[in-house]
Chain A
Amino acid sequence: MSPRTKWVVWAVLGAVLAVALTVGASRPGAPRTDAQKAASIDASLRCPSCDGVSVLDSSASTAVAIRSVVATRVREGQTTTEIESFLESRYGEGILLRPPVSGSSATLWVLPLVGLCTAGVILGLVVWRRGHLARVEVSQEDRALVEEALRGKRAGIEPELRTDPHAGSASGPGVDGSDDANRAGGNTESQRLHV
């Protein structure tokens, strides 16, 4: 199977999985009792006096009051939207643990996605550039320049070492690559060869 075919197969499988999960998650379940509906609403509300705790999980007096109001309104037959709207009219949008996807709150949903996509694009560009650079072919001209520079460097080092046997292997200008490169006239060439 060619790489392109493999990608197509995986993409199709991924799409089927996404659709199946979406459909499954959105299917209405069995009818719930008032207590279950109220608990579900409480779980979606932020306790006003606490930090990151839902009304369902909090024992603060504000949460207790909200649970009481939610239970009453559920018994009266109000919908989740109506109850949430009432509480928003008192506490603001912040009462909802999950902010609505509209108005100024839409940025809370959009920004992470934008950030993720941007990061993905940058990463893709970096990977592509590295791969692209790695595939650059060295031309014959560049090979000739490298050989010439190496020849010149060898010619520059060896005579110095022979004439001064007591100078030691790590000392003397002969060991300094840049001096040798300059003497051989290869400094410019070696710079050019840094691909």
Chain B
Amino acid sequence: MSPVRRSHLVRWISITALVVGGVVVGVVATLPPASYTEVYSPLLGKEAPSVKGPTLTGSTFDLSSLRGRWVLLDFFASWCGPCQQEGSSLAAFARQHPTGSGVSLVGVVFDDTTANARRFLAQTGGNWPAVVDPNGQIALDYGVRGPPEAFIISPEGVVVTHVDGAVTDAGFKSLLSEAEKDV
């Protein structure tokens, strides 16, 4: 190949690479930010670890009492920004799935004081059980790295979905219906 042809080819390849790179950057930069993602967990397909302990209202909670129902287990904290975004979605979800609907929402307090967690739940309008986890053992059992993280547990007590990030009301519905279809 002559030097002239080679330089033409290099120029065209450079221009093409720049254009393609620019298009990719433009598309990625204008994509709406992802609010939540389904992420891998070693617990997927396995029996859900036990969640047992006192709740913010002083009662005692045991996850095994919810066998036979779908459970949305949500790890949250009052200091967590995305948790605050997610709060109203969780409240809407809870309203749409009252007691006896076959779907239960359960919260777990992640690295937060009881007072702050109670205030946060009250501001959100939450009336679902929120289990206190002072030593972080429940979070460790679920492999939680930081809130908000949520797990969907089947009526058989198996973890079917793990979600990282703030989930919208529509997101919760979609995740639940997908989980129901897969089981």
B42–A69 CB distance below 8 A: no
Which residues of chain A are within 8 angstroms of B141 by Cβ–Cβ distance? 90
B181 contacts across to A, CB distance below 8 A: none
8 Å CB contacts to A: which residues of B40-70? 40-43
A166 vs B63: C-alpha distance when bound (angstroms): 106
Question: Which of A62, A64, A69, A88 has the most C-beta atoms of chain B within 10 angstroms of its own C-beta?
Answer: A62
The interface residues of chain A, by DSSP majority, are classed as helix
In the complex, what residues of B have CB within 8 A of residue A68's CB?
Answer: 135, 137
Q: Contact at A65–B40, with CB atoms within 8 Å?
A: no
Contact present for B143 and A65 (CB under 8 Å): no
Tell me whether B94 is interfacial, beta carbon within 8 Å. no
- Give the nearest-CB partner of A66 in chain B: B140
Q: Say whether A91 contacts B139, CB under 8 Å.
A: no
A105 contacts the other chain (CB 8 A): no
Interface string of A53-84 (1 = CB under 8 A from B): 00000000110111011000000000000000
Asked if B136 is an interface residue, CB under 8 A from chain A, the answer is yes
User: Chain B, 102-135, contact with A by CB distance < 8 Å: what is the 0/1 string?
Assistant: 0000000011000000000000000000000001
B135 to chain A, nearest CB (A): 6
Rounded to whole Å, the gap between the CB of B177 and the closest CB of chain A is 27
Count of chain A to chain B residue pairs whose CB atoms are closer than 8 Å in the complex = 43
* Measured CA separation A65–B134 after assembly (Å): 10
A48 CA to B111 CA, complexed, in Å: 14
Residue of A nearest to B112 (CB): A61
Confirm or deny: A159 has a beta carbon within 8 angstroms of a beta carbon on chain B.
no
Residue contact B145 to A69, C-beta cutoff 8 Å = no
Quick check: B146 and A69 within 8 Å, CB to CB? no
**Cβ of B142: which chain A residues have Cβ within 8 Å of it?**
90
Q: How far apart are the CA atoms of A66 and B135 in the complex, in Å?
A: 10
Question: CB distance B140 to A89 under 8 Å?
Answer: no
A49 and B137 within 8 A (CB): no
Kindly state whether residue B144 has any CB partner on chain A within 8 Å.
yes
Q: List 8 A-B contacts (CB under 8 A).
A: A49-B145, A61-B110, A61-B111, A61-B136, A62-B144, A62-B146, A90-B142, A91-B145
Interface residues of A (CB under 8 A from B): 48-49, 61-62, 64-66, 68-69, 88-92
B binding-site residues for A, Cβ under 8 Å:
40-43, 110-111, 135-137, 139-146
